[in-house]
Amino acid sequence: MTHPAIIRTEHLQKVYKTNQSVTNIINDLDCSIYKGEFTVIMGSSGSGKSTLLYLLSGLENPTDGKIWFETIPVHGRNEKELALLRRNHIGFVFQDYNLVPSLTLLENILVSGYLNSKNRIQVRQLATELMETLGIHSLANRLPSQVSGGEQQRCAIARALINNPLVLMADEPTGNLNSAAAEKVLNCLAELNKAGQSIIMVTHDLRSACRGDRILFLRDGQVLDSIGFDEMVPPKEREKILLDWLKARQW
């Protein structure tokens, strides 16, 4: 049974203008993101992957078209309204972690939680639970510079989850990590999704993409095609299926 759409777009467009040129990054794009799904966005460099994620999250405004977050229109909102939407409903994980270097890992998570709740005891309890779930509780009082990249990224995931977002969005979350650290981050995302968290992840990495339920392939700012995986298909077989599928689409 198909899950209800949690995000959908209609004729979405993003144009960047300079004095010399006009560039269509997202071009008349229609897509739906489904509740409880682990959706992966792939495409060649310049296809519009990260731009689409930024538009869906309200970090950038579309030039034209519509974005719906459940029944809430994202298009046409001012920056204050978009900030509230992100704070209440969206968790965002960046490739470069974006942790505050002078705060401990725990403090980085708590700051986001305190912005949304006056119940500090409850926020601290949830932050502790998230750090335990993500395997970084023993690092709570360390600064970002005192832990590995993978541990920083898991802290960033905890920070993104502290306000119980409807959707967790991740832009190349393993892009700066070695294979072992990347595997731990991907395992965390997979477990979160298994527990019901809706996830959208942009990646260029084949192995990372295989963690998804459905892959959207972008070309020239449009969704060219998509493929879904049955959860019973083993990882190695997924990699072969996905690689053949991507090659057929000139990835």
- Res. 58: pLDDT tops 70: yes
Which regions of 5-63 does DSSP assign to beta strands (E)?
5-17, 22-34, 38-43
Q: At what angle do helices 149-161 and 179-194 cross, to 10 degrees?
A: 20
Domain count across the chain: 1
At residue 230, the pLDDT reads 85
Quick: pLDDT tens for 87-108. Answer: 889 999 999 999 999 999 999 9
In which residue are the tokens 């993500």 written?
Answer: 134
Query: Sign of the C-alpha dihedral, residues 78, 83, 84, 88?
Result: positive
Instruction: Give me the mean pLDDT over the 199-220 stretch.
Output: 95
pTM over 0.85? The answer is yes
Secondary structure (DSSP) of 128-148:
HHHHHHTT-GGGTTS-GGGS-
What is the share, in percent, of the chain residues with pLDDT greater than 70?
A: 99
At residue 76, the pLDDT reads 87
Largest CA distance in the chain: 54
pLDDT band at residue 2, thresholds of 50, 70 and 90? low
Secondary structure (DSSP) of 87-120:
HHHEEEE-TT----TTS-HHHHHHHHHHHH-S-H
- Bigger pLDDT: 140 vs 251: 140
At 108, which amino acid appears?
A: N
CA 201 – CA 66 distance, rounded (Å): 21
Cβ atoms of residues 56 and 82 within 8 Å: no
At residue 111, the pLDDT reads 95
Structure tokens, 118: 């006056």
Instruction: Give me the mean pLDDT over the 53-79 stretch.
Output: 93
CATH number, position 181:
3.40.50.300
- Res. 153: pLDDT tops 70: yes
Structure tokens, 185: 């981050």
- Res. 1: pLDDT tops 70: no
pLDDT band at residue 12, thresholds of 50, 70 and 90? very high
Quick: pLDDT tens for 216-243. Answer: 999 999 999 999 998 888 888 999 999 9
Angle at the Cα of 70 (from 69 to 72), degrees rounded to 5?
60
What does the mean pLDDT of the chain come to? Answer: 94
Instruction: Give me the mean pLDDT over the 128-143 stretch.
Output: 96
List Cα–Cα distances, 192 to 99, 103, 121, 174, 210, in angstroms: 21, 25, 23, 16, 16
Parent domain of 165? 5-248
